[in-house]
Amino acid sequence: MHERKWVKLGDLSSGAYTKRCVILLAEVAVSVVAAITAIVNGIQGDPENRLFTCICTAVFMWVPHVIERAAKHRFSASQHLAYIIMLTGSAIIGSAFNVFNKVAWYDCVMHFLSGYVMMTFIIIPFAGKLNKIEEGGKQEKKSGFAMILVLLLCSMGTAAVWEIMEFTVDIFAGQSSQGHVPPEVLAALEEQGVTGVAAAWEGMKYVSVLDTDLDMLCHMGGTLTFCVHYAIHLLTGKNLGMRSLISDICGKDMNTAARRMGQEEGALCDEEKSNTPSNIG
């Protein structure tokens, strides 16, 4: 992958600076909505246990920035946008506003969407190769089709991890991501004195696997859509947004200032060397 030097906000290229500011405003807006929703749920009561989701959303919205600081690596605008879309659609609209329970098909839509937009993160390790394919000839284009299979398998791996995470929060945080435990089962467990995590564990045995199956299938549908999109881009040679996406993730726009500063430093060093008298025997 192309090296991404850490650049201060004020030193970014004009295009990258504008994108960054818009992204920051969107992240602040989502965090504020999550905080307000958490307060409302706390005051009015929280039968669906949405307070947990709201608090997590307000915190998790800033995880990419923590990673950026720790790793000295700026995520691209497209990656920040993908993260905002997924967190807003699933945590805010789906969970905090309870749309998941009100609209039966909304969960499928979000998993289909995640299968597509998650590819912006999955291609990070392969960005250098994908950029080489963009700049190469027919032989490089052929390797692009092999990359499609790799990307598909990696995406399905993230779908499996997501389902494990849903199962985990259902057990330990009292959520119902993979379905509601039948009330009669909960009542029977309570009569037996089984409560807390133990009750959640036993209750999950009575939850249908249909939700998990549909989630995986919808995710695969979104991923296949991305793969077909990329394949058409390779076959036609047209941008179709793919060339722009790969360029964005490689940091060509984000690192304009970094490259300029690097070139200026290199030119200064060359000048100093040329002005330094050589020592002759």
Average pLDDT for residues 163-191, to the nearest whole number? 85
Q: Give the span between the Cα atoms of 65 and 63, in whole angstroms.
A: 5
pLDDT tens-digit series, residues 61-84: 999 989 888 877 778 888 999 999
Q: Which residues contact 41 (CB under 8 A, 6 or more apart)?
A: 50, 51, 54, 96
**221-267 pLDDT per residue, tens:** 999 999 999 999 998 889 999 988 888 887 655 544 444 544 454 44
- Sorted by where each begins, the domain ranges of the chain are 7-103, 104-258
Torsion of CA 168, 174, 180, 183, to 10 degrees: 140
Report, as an integer, the average pLDDT of 103-132: 90
Give the lowest-confidence range in 25-29, 56-60, 145-149, 271-275: 271-275
pLDDT, mean of residues 162-189? 85
**How many residues appear in the chain?**
281
Q: What is the mean pLDDT of the segment spanning 175-184?
A: 82
**271: pLDDT confidence band, cut at 50, 70 and 90?**
low
**pLDDT score of 6:** 60
For residue 281, the model assigns a pLDDT of: 39
CA-closest candidate to residue 9, choices 86, 74, 90, 106: 74
pTM over 0.85: no
Phi, psi of 159 (to 5 degrees): -65, -40
> What's the average model confidence in pLDDT over 16-42?
89
pLDDT category of residue 189 using cuts at 50, 70 and 90:
confident
Q: Pick 3 or 161 by higher pLDDT.
A: 161
Q: Which residues contact 126 (CB under 8 A, 6 or more apart)?
A: 1, 147, 150, 151
pLDDT interval class at 183 (50, 70, 90): confident
Q: What is the pLDDT of residue 61?
A: 92
